[in-house]
Structure 1
């Protein structure tokens, strides 16, 4: 009787847990879809692998109050109803309804995930990619910079690269090539016309398509400096946590570092967010001038924090100070900076903003940013170093704000803002180019006077040449599909270099020491997740008898989990009698790429 009561209580707890999890899942999904427009599966997966460190706290508070708190309150009511339902029949009906409701919410969440972001389809493609059976457009067309001859001019040219948060050419008026009735970014429109945006002989703006894998800030910065979409292997990569990422990839920063350039990245938020610190420090040894740097240097008070850190007004002032100092050094430089005021939702209203668009706060913020960027460019143009400096203005991705572009016609292709100012070369073609932000990788090098053999790097095409881009060959929609399809090439390329710190995490794995049919011990780690199986060259087992001191060594069988190289097991059938289980000390050693015979596990009973 007592056992039956315990089982009933366990079933009730399980059902209530399912109710909470289904509500939590559904509320979180609704928050994601309402907060981000045009969300993609690759973006969701990338951010699930990252730390929340550096995230705008207002965004987290909004989620907690508007979405998680209601779930908790509903859950509290559900528990209260269940506890105070006295009749057995009523209790049974209540729990049956709870169970049906929970399953229904899970199913609804799954349908929403597939319908809105194609999550289930993405996972199917991912499994195909990890098994090597899927189509791989990226792998078939990638041009490795290591295999391309790059010729720099005798006098190396500086570059100032400004990533403009959520900035689109869409925000210009229709006569300028945008989609708005009134031009929200008039100063930037003029800068684009004065510079080069690859619109050819047309007197309108042209910009880059923000394709899958490049349509959020870290993905955009990655795409514009590598010519690739940011795809990571699920469960195997966390860029903000590991010491190296995409170790075999050659990027814009790597190329410049090898040519004697000093790379800098200035940003008004924490560099750790999204793994930017890892990527830029590992690829080009960028000096990271972020929010924490500003505090350390005494540029802002320790308790100063607005929006994502500090506002763009300060960013441009700090940029002027740093550039003035950097320009006096005897080395070419790449000074990159990332604006933040125009981040969704609705942007940050600083002291320089005006009310020229009434209660449309986001428009006012973009208009303010347009003026600030233009003023900064004018300042650069007055400096002695400008003559030998290319300026790149590039929107990182199209805005994720859910309603700012709701009046934009469906047949209008939204594109990021692009302008090359004071380029070392002229365009070879006067045609209006169709391109994506991945094309900016080789294009920026060309604008610095670098000759690129074949005019293609990564998946990007040098827009100053007359070579067709993949967008011109395939179209935006098809390229978006191709780059959004998981790639086995990217899965291999993204593998983190294994470090001793990574291997130390294996100690957290469960070990199995059991008796086999021969009454000997079988010793295994049934589920290792800390490294990718392709990185493991050898697994060895060492068993020491505590009483006699005798040591026996065995090779372990490595078995990957089907369709998932980020999970595997290691196992060894020993000749040690199971009666000796209490008397042994077990050590397991891994040999990986670059690390030989490293102890990853210790066990004794």
Structure 2
């Protein structure tokens, strides 16, 4: 084969591979995540894998990259076969028509991908500038300006935020992994024929709940708040997390040093604060977010393993099963309650995409695996709340249950 033809064949192969890769990627993303946007995809690609469930990554490598590579090679073999079997004129015609078809399909694939994931829109967002900090003052007669808060708008200089009060409550703040109202029945604001979260439904009705509808609903997430560390950041600070830092915060020295967080405010008011998670605290800079903003202690899978022994059926790919985490949370809160005012924050994991994690308490009464896991969570959380009600500190405690972000599972 001539050198020119070898180069053309190589380019042809690369274009075919990209075509097949885009098609397979779109199918795989839809099957695993549903309707996600480019920032979530970029975040996932940039995430470190230490201490995480890597099954999704292996799934993509095998089902998308390997399959696309094999199909591309088979396609090229077909081209070489036709080149030997067809006449020169016929093959030249097939080559022209095939090249045209491949280029057209590639353009259509790129347009479809952009329309579905809003890739161009994402890069447009990156160049946008806000005027919300509209008061400026010069610093040391240099060109640099310092932005200060404006009392007529909601954004303020964090250093100006002073919050205090008498007869303050303890706080138990629970981030519920991937919780959304979808798993309720239609009568209560969900989409199911049967309510998978009956206990949480009653808790919401009997207590204060926030909804975007007349039924049980929830918050509508902003850009930069739709994955775990971004959600923790936004709920903790009132600020979204830029996707450029996303899960790269474990490599940064400081986590939003200029922000005034819930932890900072409670620390100023003498609270002892602890975070409990079943995964590794270093992931995405979680330890920096909390320890640099008023928290005294983090219990994660590594520190818990040093203090307790676990059976294999109490662990999953991320770390500790939620039922065991709730058991240990009772021990930690009991100790915290003896120190004075406390803030105990924890995060669940069992409902994590793509399939969630079944535990020994999960029922088998609903249509699919995911529904059964959510139903199990509802019972676990309700049981934990019942335990809290039996404690002496309960009357002086506020408990917040909140989904960290909508489910990323299709």
Calculate the TM-score normalised by the size of structure 1. Answer: 0.57
Q: Please give the per-residue CA displacement for 1:240-260, whole angstroms capped at 9, x wherever unaligned.
A: 332224332222223333434
Aligned to 1:597: none
Structure 1 residue 159, shift from structure 2 partner: 1.0
Aligned to 2:232: 221
Q: Per the alignment, in what secondary structure is the counterpart of residue 59 of structure 1?
A: helix
Determine if contact 1:264/1:336 at 8 Å carries over to the other structure.
yes
Kindly indicate whether residue 340 of structure 2 is the aligned counterpart of residue 343 of structure 1. no
Structure 1 residue 196, shift from structure 2 partner: 0.8
Equivalence map 1:532-543=2 (5 Å):
none
Aligned-partner Cα distance in 2 for 1:388–1:105: 63
Calculate the TM-score normalised by the size of structure 2. Answer: 0.81
In 2 relative to 1, CA 211–92 (structure 1 residues): closer, same or farther, beyond 3 Å?
Answer: same
Aligned-partner Cα distance in 2 for 1:184–1:5: 65
Structure 1 residue 378, shift from structure 2 partner: 1.1
Determine if contact 1:12/1:95 at 8 Å carries over to the other structure.
no
In 2 relative to 1, CA 302–189 (structure 1 residues): closer, same or farther, beyond 3 Å?
Answer: closer
Aligned-partner Cα distance in 2 for 1:237–1:267: 17
Structure 1 residue 142, shift from structure 2 partner: 5.0
Aligned-partner Cα distance in 2 for 1:324–1:187: 24
Equivalence map 1:557-576=2 (5 Å):
none
Aligned to 1:455: none
Structure 1 residue 314, shift from structure 2 partner: 0.9
In 2 relative to 1, CA 233–356 (structure 1 residues): closer, same or farther, beyond 3 Å?
Answer: closer
Aligned-partner Cα distance in 2 for 1:60–1:248: 35
Kindly indicate whether residue 365 of structure 2 is the aligned counterpart of residue 356 of structure 1. yes
Q: Per the alignment, in what secondary structure is the counterpart of residue 160 of structure 1?
A: strand
Aligned to 2:65: 68
* Structure with max Cα Rg: 1
Give the counterpart of 1:51 among 48, 51, 56.
48
Aligned-partner Cα distance in 1 for 2:79–2:92: 9
Aligned to 1:181: 193
Aligned-partner Cα distance in 1 for 2:47–2:296: 21
Aligned-partner Cα distance in 2 for 1:113–1:264: 43
Structure 1 residue 334, shift from structure 2 partner: 1.9
Aligned to 1:401: 409
In 2 relative to 1, CA 379–20 (structure 1 residues): closer, same or farther, beyond 3 Å?
Answer: same
Give the counterpart of 2:172 among 153, 160, 163.
160
Aligned-partner Cα distance in 1 for 2:100–2:260: 52
Aligned to 2:35: 38
Aligned-partner Cα distance in 1 for 2:257–2:362: 42
Alpha-carbon RMSD across the aligned residues, in angstroms, is 3.4
Give the counterpart of 2:181 among 169, 175, 178.
169
Q: Please give the per-residue CA displacement for 1:187-213, whole angstroms capped at 9, x wherever unaligned.
A: 11111122211469x8x5352223332
Determine if contact 1:19/1:98 at 8 Å carries over to the other structure.
no
In 2 relative to 1, CA 113–276 (structure 1 residues): closer, same or farther, beyond 3 Å?
Answer: farther
Q: Per the alignment, in what secondary structure is the counterpart of residue 378 of structure 2?
A: helix
Give the counterpart of 2:223 among 196, 202, 212.
212
Structure 1 residue 319, shift from structure 2 partner: 0.9
Kindly indicate whether residue 134 of structure 2 is the aligned counterpart of residue 122 of structure 1. no
Q: Please give the per-residue CA displacement for 1:295-350, whole angstroms capped at 9, x wherever unaligned.
A: 3334326997424322111111121122222222x353321111111223342221
Kindly indicate whether residue 392 of structure 2 is the aligned counterpart of residue 384 of structure 1. yes
Structure 1 residue 366, shift from structure 2 partner: 1.2
Aligned to 1:294: 304
Aligned to 2:142: none
Aligned residues: 389
Determine if contact 2:211/2:219 at 8 Å carries over to the other structure.
no
**4+ runs deviating over 4 angstroms:** 4-8, 81-106, 135-142, 301-305
Aligned-partner Cα distance in 2 for 1:381–1:70: 54
Structure 1 residue 361, shift from structure 2 partner: 2.1
Q: Please give the per-residue CA displacement for 1:42-96, whole angstroms capped at 9, x wherever unaligned.
A: 3233334322333323322322332223112113323544666558958877876
Determine if contact 1:40/1:212 at 8 Å carries over to the other structure.
no
Structure 1 residue 160, shift from structure 2 partner: 0.9
Determine if contact 2:247/2:284 at 8 Å carries over to the other structure.
no
Q: Per the alignment, in what secondary structure is the counterpart of residue 337 of structure 1?
A: strand
Determine if contact 2:280/2:319 at 8 Å carries over to the other structure.
yes
In 2 relative to 1, CA 241–98 (structure 1 residues): closer, same or farther, beyond 3 Å?
Answer: farther
Determine if contact 2:248/2:284 at 8 Å carries over to the other structure.
no
In 2 relative to 1, CA 38–86 (structure 1 residues): closer, same or farther, beyond 3 Å?
Answer: closer
Aligned-partner Cα distance in 1 for 2:96–2:318: 45
Aligned-partner Cα distance in 2 for 1:293–1:270: 9
Aligned-partner Cα distance in 1 for 2:160–2:277: 31
Q: Considering fraction of residues, name the structure with more helix.
A: 2
Aligned-partner Cα distance in 2 for 1:232–1:171: 28
Unmatched segments (≥5 aa) in structure 2: 135-149
Determine if contact 2:255/2:285 at 8 Å carries over to the other structure.
no
